[in-house]
Amino acid sequence: MINEIEQERQIDHADPIYTPSQLHDALVPLVKARLPVLVTGQPGQGKTDIIKQVADELGYDLLITHPVVDESIDYKGFPFPYTDEKGKPKAAFIPFGDMQKLLTAKKPLVHFADDAGHAPKAVQAAYMQWILNRAINENKMSDMVTFVAATNRKEDKAGV
């Protein structure tokens, strides 16, 4: 759908590719299909508001996170040592906080990573495990979760 719109409009890629209403209309079927989406654009163009609006219109829960303040280990879980039933020492990573919500979602949920491009590279790499594999170690993402991220463009010199 996106490529068809670009071809139809003969877009100069130096300009914004979508108007806010076109972005909204492009996001709705992608979010419904639970496809991961990365929205890029200039600061202050309404990326966050449009994503919030789409989730609200679809009746989906919305979890907004800011990876720029995360650590790469946050995506793995909290390390927890224990002893198994045979008395052997073991360790596991226990999901907590936002990760627990993503693993146990029972209704459609949009996980929106705002300003994802500002996050340290190690955090971006850890986050990509969730998006691409929908799992880290034994923790599998709920099928109810759709990943949407937004970031500014490098040419905007906005910290990306």
Indicate whether 10 pLDDT > 80.
no
Contacts of 133 (CB under 8 A, 6+ apart): none
Q: What is the pLDDT of residues 95-141, one digit of tens each?
A: 888 899 999 999 999 999 999 989 999 999 988 888 888 988 888 99
Q: Which domains does the chain have, with CATH numbers?
A: 2-154 (3.40.50.300)
Indicate whether 7 pLDDT > 60.
Answer: no
Task: Annotate 47-71 with b (16+ C-beta within 10 A) or e (fewer).
Answer: beebbbebbeebebbbbebebeebe
Task: Give the H/E segment covering residue 112.
Answer: strand 109-113
Q: Residue 118 and residue 145: Cα distance in Å, rounded?
A: 23
**Residue 12: its pLDDT value, please?**
44
Q: How confident is the model at residue 16 (pLDDT cuts 50, 70, 90)?
A: low
Q: Which two tokens stand for residue 140?
A: 């599998």
Predicted confidence band at 81 (pLDDT cuts at 50, 70, 90)?
A: very high
How many Å apart are CA 117 and CA 95, to the nearest integer? 24
Condensed to tens digits (0 to 9), the pLDDT of residues 135-158 reads 888 889 999 999 999 998 878 766
pTM confidence score: 0.80
Q: How far apart are CA 55 and CA 37, in angstroms?
A: 13
Residue partners of 49: CB distance under 8 A and separation at least 6: none
